[in-house]
């Protein structure tokens, strides 16, 4: 499926099929980190816990002066009606060819393939960037839904990182 990348107000927007990923600025991330909707309509009224945590990472990176546009948090939005169903993004800019992704869905959006779609779009965009050769992800051992997302996208499990299961992706399945 074709991935369309554009910019809206300086923010990266990735669109693929039913999904739109809209980058959240550090100011928007600060609102999300506080559990506020940040001018988005959320399926469950407010962003989920994982999304607020990821937003805090974007805010911290901005405050530390290491935030790089395109490599932070994105709202996962249903293209058909503009409703936000979760958050997904990068744990920071590429480092030595690798970048790490994460994702979180609102409770009402789980089980409908949104995390798989979001992870696939993020990975496709990242692997098209010249500074990225591998995308990383981790899960807790008991998080079978997240492991299934990674496997559907094409990630391969590699050596664990402490208590977490680690996965790598170097190319997308066609």
Residue 121 located in a structural domain = yes
Q: Looking at the domain assignment, is residue 174 inside a domain?
A: no
> Which whole number is the average pLDDT over 28-50?
95
What residues have CB less than 8 Å from 134, skipping those under 6 apart? 97, 98, 99, 168, 169, 170
Report residue 115's pLDDT band, with 50, 70 and 90 as the boundaries.
very high
Number of structural domains (the chain) is 1
CATH label of the domain that carries residue 97: 3.40.630.30
162: in domain: yes
Q: Quote the domain boundaries for residue 9.
A: 4-169
In this structure, is residue 16 part of a structural domain? yes
- Predicted local distance difference test score (pLDDT) of residue 4: 96
In a domain, 76, yes or no: yes
What is the predicted pLDDT for the residue at 174?
54
Buried b (16+ CB within 10 A) or exposed e, 58-78: bbebbeeeebeebbbbbbbbb
Note the pLDDT of residue 172. Answer: 77
Q: Which of 158, 45, 135, 128 lies closest to 88, judged by CA?
A: 135
More confident residue, 173 or 172: 172
User: How confident is residue 33, by pLDDT bands cut at 50, 70 and 90?
Assistant: very high
The per-residue DSSP string of 87-133 comes to EEEESSS-BTTEEEEEEEE-GGGTTSSHHHHHHHHHHHHHHTSTT-S
Establish if 24 belongs to a structural domain.
Answer: yes
pLDDT tens per residue across span 45-80? 999 999 999 999 999 999 999 999 999 999 999 999
**124 in a structural domain:** yes
Quick one: pLDDT band at residue 31, thresholds 50, 70, 90? very high
Question: 142-171 burial, b for 16+ CB within 10 Å, e for fewer?
Answer: eeeebbebbeebbbeeeeeeeeebbbbbee
**Nearest CA among 20, 18, 17, 15 for reference residue 4:** 15
Let me know if residue 163 belongs to a domain: yes
């Amino acid at each position: 499926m074709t991935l369309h990348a554009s910019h809206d107000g300086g923010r990266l927007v990735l669109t693929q099929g039913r999904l739109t990923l809209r980058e959240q600025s550090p100011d928007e991330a600060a609102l999300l980190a506080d559990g506020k909707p940040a001018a988005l309509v959320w399926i469950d009224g407010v962003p989920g816990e994982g999304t607020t945590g990821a937003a805090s990472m974007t805010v911290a990176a901005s405050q530390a002066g290491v935030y790089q546009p395109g490599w932070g948090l994105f709202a996962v939005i249903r293209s058909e009606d503009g409703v936000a169903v979760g958050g997904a993004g990068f744990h920071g800019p590429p480092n030595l060819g690798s970048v790490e992704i994460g994702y979180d869905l609102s409770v009402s959006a789980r089980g409908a393939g949104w995390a798989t779609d979001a992870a696939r779009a993020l990975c496709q965009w990242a692997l098209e960037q010249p500074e990225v050769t591998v995308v990383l992800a981790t899960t807790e051992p008991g998080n079978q839904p997240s492991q299934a997302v990674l496997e559907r996208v094409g990630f391969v499990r590699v050596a664990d990182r402490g208590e977490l299961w680690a996965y790598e992706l170097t190319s997308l399945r066609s």
